[in-house]
Amino acid sequence: MHSIKAFLIRGIGILTILAVAIIPFAQRKSATQAGSISSVSVVASDTSISTAANYTITFTPATASSNPGNINLGFQAPPDSQFSIGNVALSAGTSAVLTGIGFKDTQYGSISINASSIPAQELTIKLSGIVNPSKAGKYSVWIETRSGFSQLDNGSASFTIGTLGISGTVSLPNGGAGAKYVWVEAQEKGDFSKRFGSSTDANGAYGIGGLTSGKTYIVQVFVNGGPDSNTQGYSSPEPVEKTYSGSVITQNFTLAQATKTVSGTITRANGQAVANARVNGMRMDGPGFANAQANSSGQYTLTMTGGKYEIRPDTFAGPGQEAPDYSFSGPGTQIQFAKDSTTETKTNVNFAVITANSTITGAVNPIPSGGFAGVGIHNRSGFGTGTGINPSTGTFSARVPAGTYEIDMFSDMQSSGDRYAFPSMNPVSVGESETKNLGTINLVKMDKTINATVRDGTSLQGLPNMQIGCFKPKGGGYTGGRTDANGIAPIKVTEGEWGCMANAGMGGPKDGGGGPGAFLQYLKFVQKATAAEPPQEQMYVIMGGPKFVTVSGATSPSITFNAVIADKTITVLVTDSNGAALQEYGFIEAQPAGDTNDDFGKGGGLGSPIDPNMPGMASIKVPAGIYDLRMMTPPGSDYSSGDPARVNVTTGNASANIVLLRNDSTISGTLKDEDGKTVTGIMAFVSATNAKGGFIPGDVSSNNGNYSMRVPSAGGALNLGYFVDPASGYFPQPFTDATVTPVANATITKDIVMKKATATVNFTVKDPSGNPVANAFVEADNRKAVKGLKMDNFFSHGDMTDANGKITLKFPADTFKFQAFLPPQTLRNNKWMPPKTEEVVLVKNSTTNITITFQAADVVLSGKVAKTDGTAVSEAFITAYSKDGESIEIPTDTNGNYTVNVTSGEWHIVAEKDETSTSSAQVTPLLSVDTAIDTSASKTITQNLTVSAGAVLSTPVSSTYDSDNSKMVRLTDGALSGAVVSIPQDALDSDGQGDNVTLSVQSTVEIPRQLLNKPLGNAGVDIIASSSQGQPIISTASSVAITIPVLRQDVENAGLAITDFGTLATMSYYDEENGKWAPLDGSVTAVGYDANGDGDTTDGTDKILVTGQSSHFTTFAVTASTDTIPPSAPTGISATAGAQKITLAWTNPTESDLAGIKIYRSTTSGTVGDLVTTIANTTTTSYQNTGLTANTTYYYVVKSYDGAGNISTNITQVNAKTNAALPATGAASGQSVSMWWLLALAFLPIIQIARTKKV
């Protein structure tokens, strides 16, 4: 079930949001902690099921506040039996300090009541217009008092609706207290779909109703392990069978002590222990949560039940907690225990955190009024923090690690005052222990308006209370509003381009319902409110993707969203291949089947997570139609997804069974070093990947180095890899040369060889003048851009230089290229370029001293970017990269001009732009050709670029959902159709209490190109997540899965095959702080996909789906080591003149990756000239250039090019002079010519050939 306090965070306004978003980063010693509300009483005027009732709630707060605040109520109920609060209102008899209802969330039964003050005395709330749930049972109301953004007190009380069939208590072992907020469920024996349940209250009491006399029920307890419960470290007791005879059955349960433990140490980078550090364990294969606090030596121990977990340091700071002076942004460590009561222990699960000893300060002007505001500080490497803006002085201050950051602002979107945004700002760099004062930042007033309307798609009637979220496609900027009674919302914005989405949670195209792959967050709207009938709530989904508009001048553009009622229900039961019900967790996706003629189905399908309280079942609300159902199983599951199930709800509700396949084979072995010795004493885990995209992790015993994992036999051959902290002396290898073919019901043994750091390198990094460069990122990479050479298993590793420009790193023996990186802005400001890369061979047990020097960029490369009609293109993304590995990016100005400093040599330059100025949600990008330039001839080079339309990109998708749930967002059209972002439950939940978060995914061509990292398909994926107040969410609580499709033809054109992923090609994220592509830390898998439906996956138009895992959000792409070796030049080139034409002939080179011929023409000797034609085949050996000027000499260069776009370097010209023009004869009308000239024309080529041979 939802965390019992999720409603306190979900959408009730800035007061509660700031408790999550600002308090963690406030630089203060203490905050108010919650006390206990006493004497709570809940009385209903009618306790019958499905009946309208008035409620009287009395309670006494422990903490008084004279400031305005809120009383937040949560009517706790399971998803299939909610309280209806759509027409709730305060009634006479309510305490005078409670002034009105400020917010209500009909989906989760939550209400926020405004209070002028909160006295420490008995208060009364009288509510009317509530409809009781449809199932009998024991229910609870949770109460919380808040003043500003501080939680004061909380408490709860339970009450009964209808007639109970089973009741009792759930207790902790050894006579302990009642188990809070666990789920007790009665399942009818023989009919798994008939399930009834209740959550325990604060005293551990539960009550279940709705049972049928004479039926036997299996009663069991599900421990949620959430932070609101006291059940962490305990496991569920065995189920019991009870036959209901019409009288109440008393059944008490006692939880069992959990028998699984994880221990380790938290240290800083220098090895210093972090005293009192907090550590979380988030279960990945179902509900479950564990946390612990380290001792003074940084040592911690977590106790938990069986299952799959991700362990990571907890840097969140809530009320009453001081913000830590360290951060952790990498992926957590995944561990797995058997799902039983045996005793298991994982040791040495250690973490190194980054010390945050630098400070960024500043002030804003004007100071935002009418609500709370804060500043978000984040980088693209995974670190994110924030702090509140002082409402009196406008100042802010936050601690961060040394690095480069983007700064933005979030504010209360419901405030009545003026709304402001940050101006466009360059990234901010701060050094070790430095305080960077940004001065006063002058805010930009949002003084323009977008008028948004949300209406019923059938009646065209406006829908009230629908939220609109608007964002800037480029750069920061987020705002929103809520529709009024007429369905209209005026949204305050700045000038420029905006994209807007509509739904109850500011979601996007067809996503929501609390889970991945849904259309939109379900939008509830009260449609009936007559005296004769109780209110009925209906759900809406919004059709289509975000709508883009350009705001300029005095115009106020309008946009309209049509909503469709999702009034059909699909009930899903999960079974194994034998039809037996399974209690598995995961997400059910409902994808519209077949082709659709409108927007329906774009942006992903509908869907719902498996109910944590009813494992193995889901209920999905959809519009009428036919759907294909699929289930995504979480990591650590004993099952894998099977074939989709089709269900038809065109005329009414329907049910469906989804069949899962069991992991039926075992792979085991031992980790060995390169000398064949067993590796022990370190924390590691292994992985197996198959051609179907499966990723299965396995644990390794640190005592003996042995591993074991369960895998499916149906997936075929598996490649084995391993993951380990490089600080251990070994380095992770997602792919190794160890492959196995699993066999059903059998164990396959295969050892894995690990790479060990046996070579030491002392680096010194200098600027062009020989001065040390601090905070440069030094990296080693063993990928090789060499034609025809298969590289070793991919490896990269690096770290930052100290204040003296020095860093010492250890590596395995191999051949590496060493590079150093700085932020692109730093390079541009200093007119530097990255150092040239040189290969260095490191041998075992050696020590090498290497100096890396940044280059002076003394060549000015400039030009203009324009469309084919000559229109200048502003804000185009320019990438310049050299054959030696240097690269730099810069945008064009408002006139389409660019200027960038580079070094002498061969450079490539390309212009790209996501052209979002049209009204279409699908972007048609503008692209130039990749142009090669020789910059050695002059210190000033001009190169203009012409852009033309490229392949249409995908419709952007944005979804708002409750972070307690899992989520999948899918791109379903355009160039990156098939891209998927899968978020596990709680991955974006920083404090375990749940929150509305917005996830946006869009395709882009504005991505850098580099020698060793050239994006395949020339497109990537931007992933942005934000809190409900627009604050960026950069890092995640657990790893997310990202899938990016690439055309098989693009892979083949790069000289690659599907087997090269993980070696020559991988999934990377762009590290803006260091100006480079960086490979994902986790495993990367590649699987063929039949995109054209012809039954195979080998056509050029088919796709390869590449999947990786990341613990932070930024720009991602599938990148490959660029083949920069040009093919040989054509030989035997000749030119033969004719009448206004010249015929060229040659012999093609013999390289296997030859793609064709390019012919260049000039009228000047020594100048290569312009491209005349490209011959895209390898068999043509001649070309006739016609339409030339008579009696003119033309100079030609014939070059070859390969599949990677490399062009041969030959510049030797051949030439010929066209014949003189032939005189005209005959009638003045030109209707005839003499036979003499016809004969001359016929024999002229022969005469010319003879003349040429004679010469």
Looking at per-residue pLDDT, the higher value among 715 and 1060 belongs to: 1060
User: What's the gap between Cα 297 and its chain centre?
Assistant: 35
Residue 858 in tokens: 């003394």
* Distance from C-alpha of 539 to C-alpha of 340, rounded to nearest angstrom: 40
pLDDT of residue 349: 92
Report pLDDT digits (tens) over 708-735: 888 888 767 888 888 787 667 887 777 7
568-582, 602-616, 815-829, range with the lowest pLDDT: 602-616
CATH class of 258-354: mainly beta
134-138, 307-311, 992-996, range with the lowest pLDDT: 992-996
- Please, where are the H alpha helices in 699-846? 824-830
* Distance from C-alpha of 1212 to C-alpha of 201, rounded to nearest angstrom: 87
192-197 long-range contacts, CB within 8 A, separation 24+: 192/573, 192/581, 192/616, 192/617, 193/571, 193/573, 193/617, 193/655, 195/614, 195/617, 196/135, 196/137, 196/165, 197/78, 197/137, 197/613, 197/614
Exposure on the CB side of residue 284, measured as CA atoms within 13 A: 27
Which of the given ranges, 9-13, 181-185, 958-962, has the highest pLDDT on average?
181-185
Per-residue pLDDT, averaged over 316-335, amounts to: 65
Which of the given ranges, 467-471, 517-521, 545-549, has the highest pLDDT on average?
467-471
Residue 692 pLDDT > 60, yes or no? no
* Distance from C-alpha of 1119 to C-alpha of 1086, rounded to nearest angstrom: 13
Find tokens 């040659």 and name the residue: 1146
Which of the given ranges, 242-251, 909-918, 958-967, has the highest pLDDT on average?
242-251
473 within 8 A of 916, measured Cβ to Cβ: yes
Looking at per-residue pLDDT, the higher value among 49 and 620 belongs to: 49
- Reported as a pLDDT band with limits 50, 70 and 90, residue 3 is very low
The domains spanning 356-445 and 1131-1221 adopt the same CATH topology: yes
Looking at per-residue pLDDT, the higher value among 787 and 573 belongs to: 573
986 within 8 A of 1038, measured Cβ to Cβ: yes
Fold that domain 1131-1221 belongs to in CATH: Immunoglobulin-like (2.60.40)
pLDDT of residue 1237: 28
Whole-number average pLDDT of the chain: 79
477-486 long-range contacts, CB within 8 A, separation 24+: 477/421, 478/410, 478/1026, 478/1030, 479/413, 479/419, 479/421, 479/446, 479/1030, 480/413, 480/506, 481/413, 481/452, 482/414, 483/452, 483/453, 483/454, 486/462
Residue 20 in tokens: 């999550």
Residue 819 in tokens: 């590079």
Report pLDDT digits (tens) over 835-850: 887 788 999 899 999 9
pLDDT of residue 244: 96
Tell me how many degrees the CA angle 1125-1129-1131 measures, rounded to the nearest 5.
160
Report pLDDT digits (tens) over 1219-1240: 876 544 433 333 333 332 233 3
396-400, 854-858, 1190-1194, range with the lowest pLDDT: 396-400
pLDDT of residue 330: 61
pLDDT of residue 1228: 36
pLDDT of residue 518: 22
Q: Which residues contact 775 (CB under 8 A, 6 or more apart)?
A: 402, 403, 429, 431, 432, 800, 801, 822
- Reported as a pLDDT band with limits 50, 70 and 90, residue 64 is very high
Q: Which residues contact 677 (CB under 8 A, 6 or more apart)?
A: none
Report pLDDT digits (tens) over 625-638: 888 887 877 655 77
Looking at per-residue pLDDT, the higher value among 616 and 1230 belongs to: 616
- Reported as a pLDDT band with limits 50, 70 and 90, residue 958 is confident
- Euclidean distance between the first and final Cα of the chain, in Å? 92
What percent of the chain is predicted at pLDDT more than 90?
Answer: 28
pLDDT of residue 412: 64
Exposure on the CB side of residue 633, measured as CA atoms within 13 A: 26
* Omega cis (within 30) before 726: no
CATH class of 759-844: mainly beta
Looking at per-residue pLDDT, the higher value among 468 and 126 belongs to: 126
Does domain 1-162 fall under CATH 2.60.40.680? My reply is yes
For residue 128, count CB atoms less than 10 angstroms from its CB and return exposed for 0-12, middle for 13-18, buried for 19 or more: middle
- Reported as a pLDDT band with limits 50, 70 and 90, residue 18 is very low
What percent of the chain is predicted at pLDDT more than 70?
Answer: 81
Please state the pTM of the whole predicted model: 0.57
pLDDT of residue 362: 94
Looking at per-residue pLDDT, the higher value among 864 and 1246 belongs to: 864
870 within 8 A of 945, measured Cβ to Cβ: no
CA-wise closest residue to 612 among 285, 997, 166: 285
Tell me how many degrees the CA angle 951-955-961 measures, rounded to the nearest 5.
150
* Distance from C-alpha of 204 to C-alpha of 225, rounded to nearest angstrom: 14
Residue 173 in tokens: 């072992």
CATH number of 663-756: 2.60.40.1120
224-228, 466-470, 769-773, range with the lowest pLDDT: 224-228
Residue 779 in tokens: 């990296």
Report pLDDT digits (tens) over 757-778: 889 999 999 999 999 999 888 8
pLDDT of residue 852: 94
* Distance from C-alpha of 1255 to C-alpha of 1250, rounded to nearest angstrom: 9
Residue 1248 pLDDT > 50, yes or no? no
Residue 443 pLDDT > 70, yes or no? yes
pLDDT of residue 603: 40
* Distance from C-alpha of 644 to C-alpha of 667, rounded to nearest angstrom: 28
pLDDT of residue 92: 94
User: What's the gap between Cα 792 and its chain centre?
Assistant: 29
* Distance from C-alpha of 92 to C-alpha of 39, rounded to nearest angstrom: 21
- Reported as a pLDDT band with limits 50, 70 and 90, residue 5 is very low
- Reported as a pLDDT band with limits 50, 70 and 90, residue 102 is confident
Residue 284 pLDDT > 60, yes or no? yes
44-48, 264-268, 1172-1176, range with the lowest pLDDT: 1172-1176
Which of the given ranges, 330-334, 409-413, 677-681, 1149-1153, has the highest pLDDT on average?
677-681
* Distance from C-alpha of 353 to C-alpha of 339, rounded to nearest angstrom: 31
Sorted by where each begins, the domain ranges of the chain are: 1-162, 258-354, 356-445, 663-756, 759-844, 857-949, 1131-1221, 1222-1255
- Reported as a pLDDT band with limits 50, 70 and 90, residue 414 is low
* Distance from C-alpha of 773 to C-alpha of 814, rounded to nearest angstrom: 26
Angular region, 109: left φ>0, alpha ψ -120 to 50, beta rest = left
Does domain 356-445 fall under CATH 2.60.40.1120? My reply is yes
Per-residue pLDDT, averaged over 610-621, amounts to: 72
The letter for the amino acid at 368 is: P
- Reported as a pLDDT band with limits 50, 70 and 90, residue 1041 is confident
pLDDT of residue 636: 59
pLDDT of residue 693: 53
In whole angstroms, how far apart are CA 306 and each of 262, 283, 685? 12, 9, 17
Q: 1236 in helix, strand or coil?
A: helix
Looking at per-residue pLDDT, the higher value among 907 and 1255 belongs to: 907
Looking at per-residue pLDDT, the higher value among 570 and 60 belongs to: 60
Per-residue pLDDT, averaged over 396-406, amounts to: 84
* Distance from C-alpha of 184 to C-alpha of 237, rounded to nearest angstrom: 11
Looking at per-residue pLDDT, the higher value among 233 and 901 belongs to: 901
For residue 764, count CB atoms less than 10 angstroms from its CB and return exposed for 0-12, middle for 13-18, buried for 19 or more: middle
Residue 1139 in tokens: 């009448």
Does domain 857-949 fall under CATH 2.60.40.1120? My reply is yes
- Reported as a pLDDT band with limits 50, 70 and 90, residue 241 is very high
Residue 548 pLDDT > 90, yes or no? no
Report pLDDT digits (tens) over 1065-1080: 888 888 776 777 888 8
CA-wise closest residue to 16 among 127, 112, 115, 142: 112
pLDDT of residue 788: 37
